[in-house]
Amino acid sequence: MERGRGNSITDVPGVKVGHITLDEEISNEETVCTGVTAILPHAGNLFEQKVPAAHFILNGFGKTVGLIQVEELGVIESPIMLTNTFSVSAVLQGTLQYLLGQNPTIGDSTSSLNIVVGECNDSYLNAMRLMKVEPKHAIAAIDNATSEVVEQGAIGAGKGMICYERKGGIGSSSRIVYTATQNYTVGVLTLTNFGKASECKIKDWLKANGLNESESSPILDSDVEKPDGSVMVVVATDAPVNERQLKRFAKRAAIGLGRTGTAVHNGSGDIIITFSNGYTIPHNCEGIVHNYTLLRDDHPVMNELFQAVVEATEEAVYQSLLHAETTKGRKGRIVEKWPLQ
């Protein structure tokens, strides 16, 4: 399918992404190699104008925050925040501070707040036990958010991540769905930290896109025990769909992951979050009902949207590999970038 103008999740109108990257060699043994990434579903007040949302847990070896309420109510009312496993609480705190500052009524004259934070384990390269991510870094990532093409690779939450035993991190892609009356965009952002080199099917994709691997294919030191890894997938669209339909999108993103070769290992947290900003749901409303115009499940456009999710998810994984640079982390460990001619 046709890619969006920037081949990025920010091709979905209104979506913004921001990063903060921490990269500091503290000693011969310890290096900070991590960060925070913020995905904003739209540029307005997310608490006052919520977006329909859903999630799908492909494998639940993860430590996310906020998905219980997303499942129950079908909305997201905060930026979607990504970081490393031990920094979830700090990022939650910073995002809470940001949204409390933006909304004085939260916790006072109105309800509480549900913040969504996802993570992957970057402890092979990052001194994760030092917990160097602070609440201020979450706030800075939100403040840095832009609608420009997403910076990818070893940046933000992706700084210390490994994908298919090469340097991974942040990847993004988009697809356009055309109809007679309206065009829709599907955008995907991935935080990749999973897979064995022997599983990866990038060679076929590279060949189909006129690219080739180099002859050298360095992999990680097989004598060093590494966690199975994880992947966070965020799917955005401007198509007017509800939370049930977004759950169906999330399941199709799992097919996109499968296309890249992953067997979804026992210790891998593979979590997919989907949202639409095709309409918003106001926090305050005097009326007893809301009327929304939604796409029909049985219209051919739904199959096109499914296909867009699959293709963009697959490519977002590969883009994380193709953009990441060779990175040195703790204990002198080096993870090579993907060998591309």
What residues have CB less than 8 Å from 249, skipping those under 6 apart? 54, 186, 235, 237, 241, 274, 305, 306, 309
276 is annotated as an active-site residue: no
Catalytic position from the list 230, 238, 276, 320: 230
Catalytic position from the list 78, 174, 270, 320: 270
Q: Nearest 5°: phi and psi at 208?
A: -65, -20
The total of other beta-carbon atoms located within 10 Å of residue 35's CB is 30
78 is annotated as an active-site residue: no
23 is annotated as an active-site residue: no
SS3 state of residue 49: strand
Interatomic CA distance for residues 219 and 164, integer angstroms: 9
Using CA atoms, how far residue 291 sits from 76, 238, 295, in Å, is 19, 17, 13
What residues have CB less than 8 Å from 204, skipping those under 6 apart? none
SS3 state of residue 223: coil
Catalytic position from the list 8, 268, 276, 320: 268
Catalytic residues: 230, 268, 270
